[in-house]
């Protein structure tokens, strides 16, 4: 008779917060590795980014650690443990450890290219100097734009900690003053989505139009936060799941006795998810800018060029001449372009019928909407929806 004994599992502690989108993505990537390697047991405590209490590990005796090392306390614990560990933070408090982090340069370039492609000539950055990755993104953003001949203004708060109670009111007031002083139109990269939402609120308080005067991009693509923002926040989707998976893989090799050095593994972002906060062309001509704003607000009402002329006191010939000079297309073509963007968004994000989408986007007939959509994108709306569904990643 054979006697089966339980296989010894590797005991791994996860010093990773669950309070933000990026960290939760890391945990999803680690979990994917666990599904493929069931000989792991993990220990996860309730910790935050800046307050990592190690008392829950006082009696723990494990094999390795995956950690976002952003405090001296966390660094000291890992050093004193003597265990194999992988760092998932850009802070590099323990430079001798292998690190897996986002490629901040690629993130900054993606944001800058979006603004450049849309005609912006003024740029700014809103960061959080408590975090090294924010500082890196600021440096890369300014450097990339500088190489192309553009300046970039970075927000510098009088108080570094904008999150603590009474200081937040001072911070938002500073932010409003800074926004009012910026040259317009300006493309602003925010270090992550929370900063993006805060910047949009400051624009509202300053009575600054988004996206026509200030266009905004965040980082992490936290869909809940982006959708709760007004207007909805454009954001760069990072790839924390790949980072988490790779970190787990590297730790497994280290636990097995392999020497893996102190290399930094950089994970590229996936894409920029464009939403209304940056979905705009930078236009210096105030008449054209006002017309675009009117079109965006009323395109779903099946407006015509005459409706724009009723709102802006210029002749049709002048309006068309200014549109062609600023954008290379007519006001009518701009109306159709904005309506089609609305159609695309509804196809991607809802299960509305084509008839309902046509009605909501100001097309009188579904057939006409389909013809115009196919003429522009070389695909029928129904087929576009099917292909988008097939290409979307599965929700974890």
pLDDT tens, per residue, the chain with 396 residues: 444 444 578 999 999 988 888 999 999 999 999 999 888 988 887 676 666 667 777 788 899 999 999 888 889 999 999 999 999 999 999 999 999 999 999 999 999 999 998 889 999 999 999 899 999 999 999 999 999 999 999 998 765 544 444 578 889 999 999 999 999 999 999 999 999 999 999 999 999 999 989 999 999 999 999 999 999 999 999 999 999 999 999 999 999 999 988 899 999 999 999 998 998 877 778 898 889 889 988 998 989 999 999 999 999 999 999 999 888 889 999 999 889 989 988 998 888 999 999 999 999 899 999 999 999 999 999 999 988 776 554 444
* Residue at token pair 């929806």: 385
The angle at the Cα of 213, spanning 208 to 217, to the nearest 5 degrees, equals 95
| Cβ atoms of 124 and 182 closer than 8 Å | yes
Model pLDDT, residue 38: 86
**316-327 vs 286-298: helix axis angle to the nearest 10?**
100
Predicted confidence (pLDDT) per residue in 335-382, tens digit: 998 899 899 889 988 889 999 999 999 998 999 999 999 999 999 999
Model pLDDT, residue 48: 67
Model pLDDT, residue 4: 41
Cα–Cα distance for residue pair 29/88, rounded to 1 Å: 12
Alpha carbon distances (Å) from 341 to 144, 276, 278, 292, 387? 29, 10, 13, 14, 17
pTM for the structure as a whole: 0.76
Q: Which of 137, 172, 171, 138 is nearest to 152 (CA)?
A: 138
Residue 182 DSSP code = S
Model pLDDT, residue 341: 85
Residues in the chain: 396
Residue 367: how many other CB atoms lie within 10 Å: 11
Predicted confidence (pLDDT) per residue in 264-322, tens digit: 999 999 999 999 899 887 777 889 888 988 998 899 898 999 999 999 999 999 999 99
| Cβ atoms of 329 and 291 closer than 8 Å | no
Model pLDDT, residue 20: 86
* Residue at token pair 């975090």: 131
Cα–Cα distance for residue pair 237/102, rounded to 1 Å: 11
Q: Domains plus CATH for the chain?
A: 10-102+240-270 (3.40.50.2300), 104-237 (3.40.50.2300), 286-389 (1.10.10.60)
Model pLDDT, residue 330: 93
């Amino acid at each position: 008779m054979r006697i089966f004994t339980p296989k010894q599992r590797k005991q791994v502690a996860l010093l990773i917060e669950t309070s933000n989108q990026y960290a939760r993505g890391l945990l999803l990537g680690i979990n994917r590795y666990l599904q493929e390697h069931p000989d792991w047991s993990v220990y996860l405590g309730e910790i935050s980014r800046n307050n990592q209490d190690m008392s829950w590990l006082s009696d723990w005796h494990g094999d390795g650690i995956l950690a976002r090392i952003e405090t001296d306390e966390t660094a000291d614990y890992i050093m004193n443990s003597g265990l194999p560990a992988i760092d998932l933070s850009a802070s590099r408090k323990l430079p001798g450890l292998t690190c897996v982090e986002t490629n901040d340069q690629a993130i900054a370039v993606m944001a800058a290219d979006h603004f450049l492609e849309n005609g912006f000539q003024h740029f700014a950055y809103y960061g959080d100097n408590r975090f090294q990755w924010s500082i890196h993104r600021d440096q890369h953003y300014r450097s990339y734009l500088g190489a192309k001949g553009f300046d970039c203004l970075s927000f510098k708060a009088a108080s570094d900690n904008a999150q603590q109670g009474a200081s937040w009111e001072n911070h938002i007031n500073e932010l409003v003053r800074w926004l009012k002083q910026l040259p317009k139109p300006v493309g602003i990269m925010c270090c992550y989505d929370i900063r993006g939402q805060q910047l949009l609120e400051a624009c509202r308080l300053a009575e600054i139009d988004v996206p026509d005067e200030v266009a905004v991009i965040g980082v992490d693509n936290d869909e809940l936060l982006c959708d709760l923002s007004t207007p909805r926040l454009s954001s760069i989707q990072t790839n924390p799941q790949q980072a988490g998976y790779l970190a787990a893989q590297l730790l497994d090799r280290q636990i097995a006795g392999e020497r893996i050095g102190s290399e930094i593994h950089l994970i590229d972002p996936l894409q920029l998810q464009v939403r209304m906060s940056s979905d705009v062309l930078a236009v210096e001509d105030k008449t054209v800018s006002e017309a675009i704003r009117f079109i965006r607000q009323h395109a779903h009402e099946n407006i015509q060029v005459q409706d724009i002329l009723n709102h802006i006191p210029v002749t049709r010939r002048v309006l068309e001449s200014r549109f062609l000079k600023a954008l290379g297309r007519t006001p009518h073509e701009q109306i159709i372009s904005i309506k089609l963007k609305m159609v695309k968004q509804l196809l991607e994000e809802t299960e509305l019928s084509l008839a309902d989408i046509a009605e909501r986007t100001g097309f009188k007939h579904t057939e006409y909407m389909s013809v115009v959509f196919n003429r522009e994108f070389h695909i029928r709306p129904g087929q576009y929806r099917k292909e988008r569904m097939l290409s979307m990643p599965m929700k974890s």
